[in-house]
Structure 1
């Protein structure tokens, strides 16, 4: 991205952006035609557009659109573009199951109206179903509509857009927004207070989350089975988002080269990642380790797989699975202090055979200007949210190298590899013994 002070473009920047966008959008349109897809729309009854085959061009177009939009905004408009009120309507929609109350098909209820755009439901009918006064409910839903969540096919009727239909049909996405609005949102507004109180904060106690909820996030999850189940479900909601997708684990390492081998998924929750690995690499024997209550939930799950074993384990205790080929720990050490990371690695030593791989996947924030602004914005939003919740801060290459050095001379640190289109990176080391 050009410096804000650069003013010597060969042509006016607005026109340059428009011309570039025209070429990019033409490429996208040609791809949609070649793949027999309809023109994109927000209407919930239509099939979501699949951009996988032209993702790079789409990403470049989004970057140019963002720059064009913000060049056309005044400085004050940029400053107030994102406000806390943006989450209010989503909070109410999820809390009162409003997305599920709006019909997706035409035969779900006698209170449904049907038009060329699809089924809809009146504000009065929704107010009766939720117990929210109709005037207030209308204000909430119309606020959501400005974010492409629901729309009015005709006055007084509410119908699904593609975004609201996802909320109606995807329990994981509902749990994600529920976690964000019930837990994360309250913590983010206490970040300034936490920084004033603990300017050199480390660990999960000295956090904005603690100020908002009176306990750490881990303590909240452990004290409420319902919250824990929702949180685990929420973690799977973004698996189709390129920034968080499990595909970075599946494709980001040469699992096939292991042949028939054991992989230990440390802190693997209910096995979301291991299940994808098992589907793609059936020769792998997978062991998922987590807290006892999480393991109990995973064992009770209906989609268990034979090649996956679940085991209760504390990451700071001696590793019980000996001689595995790979020990992967994903999005866990980001919440730990450097000393805790060293303690984890030391606790793993007795289980490691020469050549065993320690594979850490943690969020990373790219250097400014090394990726498109629209992607970097997502990365940094995740970064500051993690800081609010657990005091996470992204580690640099040299910091990881020092952690492995402290853990013992048997570790050969291989480095950090950023996953393309992701806000995560692989940190790899080999045990030489």
Structure 2
């Protein structure tokens, strides 16, 4: 495809989005301080518009990469030289609370004033912020003074964003730097205690055990913040991380008053979405004792309606132990499996099988990556692949495509069979329905 043809595609998709934004009196996308913090396309907009946005991002990246040239894009573009220094700059901005040091005024602040407010050397601050301006984070509108852009304002005002960046720029960044060392030392990535994270933080604990240490519990808070950020704001190209994929991806009405066991269900956010819509269903939310204690104490805030709330109970349980609840209709896992390698996921599934009655289902909500070569290399695909590397370096986990899910199910038990992989529109996750072949 020629550059002109790609540019024509860009124009087509941009015009479609412009028309929708204008017709619905939405704010124009802008990097200015008072511009919208998120792209102004609501989740309820027609799916064709969400696809146009994804296609626009893909075509824009394609034409940039082509005009930079294949060799230079590897060396000087967003790959070999830039990525880790981008992370370094973002980590410094977040850790030193640089955005908080700049007032939301046209005058902004001088580098000397930012240095005084943050306690960081002025030359260091100057060079870090000047790199940030190349990413449209801050605007050096005159030599030596910067003011906010929409991105830096978000870093000042959005507490969820501040927390969500921490796991990526702390544990993720440091683990990535030790990945090659981990491969050389440990070989494969099936074990959760032999990862790049273990080398980076000099620990024999897996990540989840490590962040439960009293001196490390702030990391658990930031991890929770990252999850809340994704659920609220979605991912690249507006893909949603909310409970909508749970509602849309499985026919809950067919259970006719059955029992759902939400394994590793944390604070019960799925139940808060499902219970009001399915009045005959009962739910048991299982998680580790500290999580269950906190979740059960606060569930009334999440689901205030007593009629719905009374059908949800909590139980302390580890999914690495045999499932104690017999004869449920659905054993449900949301955002669990990608944390673990195939070896551990197979153990989790095996622990369910003895408790399954005839007709019971295992329902998994998790990433379903596109098959290799089946989709364009969009920014959203890049985000998902980065997520896969994040899981591998931190936990030994992985993101899976359809073939990987079929392989995992058979690894757990030959009698398990995937009945359906549903990919709801505009959702990050797929819904995987699994049955036990009883013949």
The Cα shift of 1:268 comes to 2.4
| TM-score normalised by length of structure 2 | 0.82
1:326 match: 330
Are residues 1:81 and 2:69 paired?
Answer: no
Gaps of 5+ in 2: none
Q: Greater shift after overlay, 280-289 or 261-270?
A: 280-289
CA contact (8 A) 1:232 1:269 kept: no
CA distance in 2, matches of 1:248, 1:161: 33
Provide the C-alpha distance between the structure 2 equivalents of 1:138 and 1:257, rounded to a whole number of angstroms. Answer: 61
Normalised to the residue count of structure 1, the TM-score between the two structures is 0.83
The answer on whether the counterparts of 1:236 and 1:272 sit within 8 Å (CA) in structure 2 is no
Distance 1:339 1:27, change over 3 A: closer
Q: Which residue of 1 aligns with 2:175?
A: 187
Once the two structures are overlaid, the 10-residue window that deviates more, 401-410 or 135-144, is 401-410
Partner of 2:209: 219
Q: Secondary structure at the match of 1:36?
A: coil
1:304 to 302, 305, 311: 302
**Partner of 1:90 in structure 2?**
90
Query: Structure 1 151/274 Cα, relative in aligned 2: closer, same or farther at 3 Å?
Result: farther
CA contact (8 A) 1:152 1:158 kept: yes
Q: Does the aligned pair in 2 maintain the 1:203–1:335 contact within 8 Å?
A: no
Partner of 2:291: 294
Larger RCO of the pair (alpha carbons < 8 Å, separation 6+): 2
Match of 1:150 in 2: 138
CA distance in structure 2 between the aligned counterparts of 1:398 and 1:18, rounded to whole angstroms = 35
Q: Who is 1:123 aligned against?
A: 111
Cα deviation, residue 87, structure 1? 1.0
| Counterpart in the other structure of 1:203 | 191
1:18 aligned residue: 7
Distance in 2 separating the partners of 1:284 and 1:182:
41
Say whether residues 1:38 and 2:17 are aligned partners.
no
Residue of structure 2 equivalent to 1:230: 222
More displaced 10-residue stretch of structure 1: 63-72 or 197-206 = 197-206
* Deviations 1:141-164, CA, capped at 9 Å, x for gaps: 222221122224555444332222
1:70 offset after TM fit, Å? 0.8
Instruction: Map Cα deviations across residues 33-83 of structure 1 (whole Å, 9 max, x no partner).
Output: 111123211123233442242211111111111111111103343113233
Give the secondary-structure state (helix, strand or coil) at the position aligned to 1:236: helix
**Is the Cα contact below 8 Å between 2:240 and 2:426 reproduced in 1?**
no
Whole-angstrom distance in 2 between the partners of 1:280 and 1:102: 46
Tell me the CA shift for residue 30 of structure 1.
0.9
The CA RMSD measured in Å over matched residues stands at 2.9
Structure 1 window deviating more from structure 2 (236-245 vs 218-227): it is 236-245
Question: Which stretch of the first structure deviates more once superposed, 215-224 or 83-92?
Answer: 215-224
Matches within 5 A, 1:21-420: 21-47=10-36, 48-52=38-42, 53=45, 54-79=49-74, 80-82=76-78, 83=82, 84-104=84-104, 114-115=105-106, 120-153=108-141, 155-215=143-203, 216-223=206-213, 224-239=216-231, 240-241=234-235, 242-243=238-239, 245-246=241-242, 247-258=244-255, 260-278=257-275, 284-299=281-296, 301=298, 303-306=301-304, 307=309, 308-374=312-378, 375-395=380-400, 397=402, 400-401=405-406, 403-405=408-410, 407=412, 411-420=416-425
